[in-house]
Each structure stands twice: as structure tokens, then as C-alpha cells.
């Protein structure tokens, strides 16, 4: 389908937005437990994150759509793993915004990504990465813990609508975009299983194998040493 055809289809479906209803009450009952769940996803076209509240009380379990943020893919080329890491950082910042603006006391926060590479970077305890990756992983781990990040299969990830888009007509149906995946409302034992191994492979191009880069041993030379090196004659 060409660009013109995609544009005409998008315009033809716009009138369906008149029927879209967004529930403004995120807390329909008095819960005994409140959790915040944030899902992230990326594609070649864009990336985004979406957050839900998981509310529990005796006999009641429900999820509420809170907020989403989407961005188009950057013009300058990024590798897929770096795009996925940018998406994880966007999700972490989105969750921090929600926590800052809401006054609800949350019992737990969980972040979901279908990127095994990003989860390995976050969970790794001994690898050192190149500056671009290291800075973003460092920011993520400043306000979250590695154990808060979990793996979700792509087919169960509602943030897929952020990265790939969704037709307006689909938003008026019973779509998981408004409620999150069904497994959230099930016992934690039914949630997607975590991969067993989280250490990045040795051939990961983002791992910095330099022994001295970033080390405290790499110090600037003394000015006198530089002066001697530039002059061949001691008297001069």
C-alpha cells in the first residue's frame, strides 16, 4: 500500500474517534493493593510506552489505563538494541511522571519489555558498556531495580500499538489497549516466565573490553611530563 493510500485510509477512519470513550475513573473501588505496570515496545517506525494500574481488593481485580507516550523513530540511524534501550528509558521516565503526579501509594512497580538484549544489559552485574549504552542503563537503574524489569512476549505486549500504530476503528472495540494484557489480572504465577540467562554474550558489540577506559588508573599526565616530552634539550 502506497503512502497516498495509507493517508486516505487513515482519514476515512478518523470519524470512529467520535465513539472512543476513555474511562476517567482509574480507581472504581477502594483497593487494598495498587501496582503500576509499564509496557514498552519499539519498531522501525517509532517507539512508545503505556502504563496501567493494577488494583486489587478482596474479590476484586481490575486494571486501569493511566497514560501513554509515543515517539517516532529518530532520523539518525540507531541499531535495534539501542532503539529498544531508548524505549525502556522512555517507559521508566513515563512511570516517574505518573508517580510524581499521582497521590496513590503503590505497592509495586513492574516494567515489561520484549527485548532480551535490554533485559541482559539491565540485569548484568559485571559488564561495562560503551558510553551511549552505559549512560542510559545507568539512568534506568538510578530510579528502578533490575528485578522490577520482566520479559513479555511480543504478542502480549500492548505497547505494540504505540510502536506500530492502530486503526481508529479498533479503539472503539474491546481492545487490550484500554485494559492491558489479561495475565495482569491473573495470579503472579501465571505471568510470563523470565529467561534463565541474563548475562550478555561476549560478542556483544556494546561491551567495552578496554581495561583502562573509565578506570581510575587513567589519569592525566603531569604538566612537567608533557613539557619534557616536547623538548629535546634539558637546558632549553
22-36: per-residue pLDDT in tens? 878 888 888 899 999
Q: Is residue 152 within 8 Å of residue 114, measured between CB atoms?
A: yes
Query: Dmax over Cα atoms in the chain, in whole Å?
Result: 90
At 174 the pLDDT is 65
Q: What share of the chain is helix, strand, coil (3-state, %, to 5)?
A: 40, 20, 40
Among candidate residues 21, 40, 88, 28, the one with its CA nearest the CA of residue 64 = 28
pTM above 0.95, yes or no: no
| The three grid cell numbers given for residue 7, joined into one nine-digit string | 493517508
Tell me which of 29 and 136 has the higher pLDDT: 136
Asked whether residue 216 carries a pLDDT value surpassing 50, the answer given is no
What are the structural domain ranges in the chain? 29-229
Asked whether residue 213 carries a pLDDT value surpassing 50, the answer given is no
Among candidate residues 64, 63, 57, 60, the one with its CA nearest the CA of residue 33 = 57
- Supply angle C-alpha 172, 175, 178, rounded to 5: 90
Q: How far is CA 183 from CA 61, 91, 117, 153, 180, in A?
A: 11, 20, 23, 12, 9
Amino acid at each position: 500500500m502506497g503512502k497516498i493510500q495509507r493517508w486516505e485510509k487513515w482519514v476515512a477512519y478518523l470519524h470512529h474517534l467520535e465513539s472512543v470513550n476513555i474511562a476517567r475513573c482509574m480507581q472504581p473501588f477502594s483497593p487494598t493493593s495498587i501496582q503500576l505496570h509499564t509496557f514498552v515496545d519499539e519498531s522501525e517506525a517509532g517507539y512508545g510506552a503505556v502504563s496501567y494500574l493494577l488494583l486489587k481488593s478482596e474479590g476484586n481485580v481490575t486494571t486501569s489505563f493511566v497514560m501513554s507516550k509515543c515517539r517516532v523513530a529518530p532520523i539518525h540511524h540507531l541499531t535495534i538494541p539501542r532503539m529498544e534501550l531508548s524505549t525502556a528509558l522512555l517507559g521508566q521516565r513515563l512511570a516517574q511522571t505518573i508517580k510524581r503526579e499521582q497521590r496513590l501509594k503503590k505497592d509495586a512497580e513492574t516494567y515489561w519489555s520484549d527485548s532480551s538484549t535490554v533485559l541482559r544489559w539491565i540485569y548484568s552485574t559485571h559488564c561495562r558498556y560503551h558510553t551511549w549504552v552505559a549512560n542510559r542503563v545507568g539512568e534506568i537503574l538510578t530510579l528502578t531495580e533490575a528485578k522490577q524489569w520482566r520479559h513479555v512476549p511480543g504478542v502480549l505486549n500492548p505497547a505494540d500499538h504505540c510502536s506500530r500504530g492502530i486503526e481508529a476503528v479498533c479503539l472503539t472495540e474491546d481492545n487490550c489497549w484500554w485494559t492491558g494484557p489479561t495475565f495482569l489480572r491473573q495470579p503472579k504465577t501465571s505471568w510470563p516466565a523470565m529467561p534463565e540467562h541474563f548475562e550478555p554474550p561476549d560478542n556483544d558489540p556494546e561491551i567495552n573490553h578496554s581495561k583502562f577506559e573509565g578506570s581510575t588508573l587513567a589519569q592525566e599526565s603531569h604538566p612537567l611530563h608533557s613539557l619534557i616530552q616536547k623538548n629535546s634539550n634539558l637546558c632549553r
